[in-house]
Structure 1
Amino acid sequence: MDASGNLTSLSEESEQESVHPSSESVFSNVPPLPPLEFSLQKYSQLDWTSYFDQEDDICIPETENVFHVYKAGSEGPVVFCLHGCGYAGLSFALSASKIKEKVRVVSMDLRGHGKSITDNDLDLSIETLCTDVLAVIKTMYEDSPPAIVLVGHSMGGSVAVHIAAKRILHSLAGLVVVDVVEGTALASLIHMQKILSSRVKHFSSVEKAIEWSVKSGSLRNIDSARVSIPATLKYDDSKKCYIAQEGLEETEKFWRSWYAGLSDKFLSSPVPKLLLLADTDRLDRTLTIGQMQGKFQMVVVRHTGHAIQEDVPDEFATLILNFISRNRIGPHGIEIPVLRKPSKSDA
């Protein structure tokens, strides 16, 4: 039935109810929400505590750097999540609430993002980002780190790959890269300044920022946006408004270093690997050959945008858990089944 048909039907029902008061709905006297109030309610902020179990500030010894992390789960290997440029650790909130049922989750606010505080928030060189992540892991777990599965989205995926390729994180047991491929990423850099300059940066309220993120198509899951977007905003007292992630344009000199040589580094990483893509068009030649040779697992997650972990958090969580199970990754690394000793009855 078309829209006009629905309206006609509703109008007739309303007239009938006015003639027969006894048949009125128990909600008939409740005044409707004003349009603005309804919009604010629909895009209101959701608290991260519904998804993660705790937050913590990791102070790096002998530096001024303090990195904010969110934690969930109590046992199993650690899924260590690294967000993309302009996002924050809460980008993985909804998926973490599912992943933590089986394993542990840590999601970190990278330098210049979220609640992390560093000596230079604009130093997003790949070496600095890798050093930051390794320092956080070292500070958190000291000399006895659990098995770690690095999960990185976009820029965070680049960081995860570079760390894996260094082969210095000895407890690394798996690598998951979310929607970033060298060829596509390098080709898109020419458009990045235009994209950043055209985005809305000032919002009268947190709700307006959440609404914009969904209506612009950058995020497709309202609930995820309601958790993650507030962490990317800062309130400006002088301008009396909320400001989105600042300074990204100034980090342009680092962008190419994030992605140059990424495909070869990914393929050379000596751990089980999973590549999650929103579209097969993102696959470059090097990875196409590697995928055909069975060097990594690839899954194309349909009907999502760039932030797969936010758009379809349940499916994302299932893919992560299946990857861990398939590769038998336990709390201390890859679990090798114990060979059963032959019994006398076998003789």
Structure 2
Amino acid sequence: MEPLSASVDDDFGVERSTIGTSLLSLEDPIMEEGEESASTSSGEPSAFAPESIPPRPFREPASSKYSPLPWQGHFDGEHDILIQSTGEVFHVYVAGSQGPVVVCLHGGGYSGLSFALVAGKMKERVRVVAIDMRGHGQSRSNNDHDLSAETLSSDVLNVLKTMYGENPPAFILIGHSMGGAIAVRVAAERVLPTLAGIVVVDVVEGTAMASLIHMQKILSSRQMHFQSPEQAIMWTVKGGGALRNIDSARISVPSTLKFDEQRQCYVWRTPLQDSEAYWRGWYEGLSDVFLSCPVAKLLLLAGTDRLDRSLTIGQMQGKFQMIVVRHSGHAIQEDEPEEFANVVLNFIARNRIGTYGLEIPGVRRPIQLRSSN
């Protein structure tokens, strides 16, 4: 706070000068010519000498508080995966060197960096692969606007086949929101012979379908233009955005932006409002398909009121594990990365998922997972 410098009027209408000058005139003795003003008559420094005034506490500038952070240190590397049959390139972030592979699929409008903090907390025990889906992040496809469930599921299968060939390790699919719907569709195809588990994050068919009629209104209320990535990060955590964890937002939000040369500002990389034709296909029938997946299943929610009838019955029958993180927003993996990582690692341990399959005590080689058609 800057010191007062303009003159002010007291309660009686008498003009007086700055507060600092008033204090000096009241407390300091009148100085003789040649006497130093910074000392008292005893030779001690005056309380009002510049060197006696304590420095102001440091306040981080707002632009610094919301500046982008690097993903390095959380993920170990990044790769561009070329799909030979189509010429499309999918960007992936990887972490870890041992254990089963946790494949992370982000929600609509997010990117693979949505799982950065989680990857850093899990990579000592598992391998993490986070994919920038078609039309998101740094992936480049022949048609970024085709976000149909069939196309996105095919993309995931193509990336995993290209990365791991004919002898893949055990996979655990994790999908958030739209990515959760795609993870379920991939699992339901039963073409991943080593698929060992699936984790769906905060998406339920009943709630999703009911909210579709409001989605365009929600999307139209978003701020669409930003002068800088810092402004977008600030809006995401303080304005109408969906994130509560500023550290995660500083890593993930910049990857969801692109610079518009015509408007000379930053805009969202993915125009979600243009994908309305595919929304119903993501979520319709999702609960029954999820329950039919022949692998270990975990549903991770931010609120218990999101269960629909099919999932309520399935949960009572013990067909899947459900955990609620009550103090989180929609993006649980970003808001509560430590709790999220612990839940996933416990799920893997509970279901005895090893590097190449189910690890049973007393059996030297893991049981290979083969999904039947």
| TM above 0.5 | yes
**Matched residue type, 2:116:** A
Which of 143, 148, 159 is the aligned partner of 2:166?
143
Q: Which residue of the partner structure matches residue 317 of structure 2?
A: 293
- What SS does the aligned partner of 1:321 have? helix
**Matched residue type, 1:131:** S
Q: Which residue of the partner structure matches residue 236 of structure 1?
A: 260
Matches within 5 A, 1:177-326: 177-216=200-239, 217-326=241-350
1:279-329 deviations in whole A, cap 9, x for unaligned? 001110100000000000000001111000000000000001000000000
- What SS does the aligned partner of 1:235 have? strand
Q: Which residue of the partner structure matches residue 98 of structure 1?
A: 121
**Matched residue type, 1:166:** E
Tell me how far 1:339 sits from its aligned partner: 6.3
Q: Which residue of the partner structure matches residue 182 of structure 2?
A: 159
Matches within 5 A, 1:127-138: 127-138=150-161
CA–CA distance in structure 2, aligned partners of residues 21 and 73 of structure 1? 58
Which of 19, 22, 26 is the aligned partner of 2:47?
19
1:118-162 deviations in whole A, cap 9, x for unaligned? 000010110000000000000000101110000000000000001
CA–CA distance in structure 2, aligned partners of residues 74 and 301 of structure 1? 29
CA–CA distance in structure 1, aligned partners of residues 277 and 212 of structure 2? 11
CA–CA distance in structure 1, aligned partners of residues 349 and 121 of structure 2? 15
Identity percentage of aligned residues: 64
Say if 1:332 and 1:18 are closer, same or farther in 2 by CA, change over 3 A.
farther
Question: Unaligned regions of 5+ residues in structure 1, if any?
Answer: 1-14, 341-347
Tell me how far 1:21 sits from its aligned partner: 6.7
Max Rg structure: 2
CA–CA distance in structure 2, aligned partners of residues 145 and 98 of structure 1? 23
Say if 1:147 and 1:246 are closer, same or farther in 2 by CA, change over 3 A.
closer
Do residues 110 (structure 1) and 133 (structure 2) align? yes
CA–CA distance in structure 2, aligned partners of residues 287 and 75 of structure 1? 34
1:256-276 deviations in whole A, cap 9, x for unaligned? 010011000100000000000
Say if 1:275 and 1:24 are closer, same or farther in 2 by CA, change over 3 A.
farther
Say whether the 8 Å CA contact 2:256–2:270 is kept in structure 1: no
Q: Which residue of the partner structure matches residue 168 of structure 1?
A: 191
CA–CA distance in structure 2, aligned partners of residues 51 and 32 of structure 1? 28
**Matched residue type, 1:163:** V
**Matched residue type, 1:100:** K
Say if 1:123 and 1:339 are closer, same or farther in 2 by CA, change over 3 A.
closer
Aligned residues: 321
Q: Which residue of the partner structure matches residue 343 of structure 1?
A: none
Tell me how far 1:201 sits from its aligned partner: 1.1
Q: Which has the higher helix share?
A: 1
Q: Which has the higher contact order (CA 8 A, sep 6+)?
A: 1
- What SS does the aligned partner of 1:274 have? strand
Report runs of 4+ in structure 1 exceeding 6 Å deviation: 20-23
Tell me how far 1:246 sits from its aligned partner: 3.6
Matches within 5 A, 1:3-82: 19=47, 28-29=54-55, 32=58, 38-82=61-105
Tell me how far 1:191 sits from its aligned partner: 0.6
Could you say what the CA RMSD is over the residues aligned between the two structures, in angstroms? Answer: 2.1
Normalising by structure 1, what TM-score?
Answer: 0.89
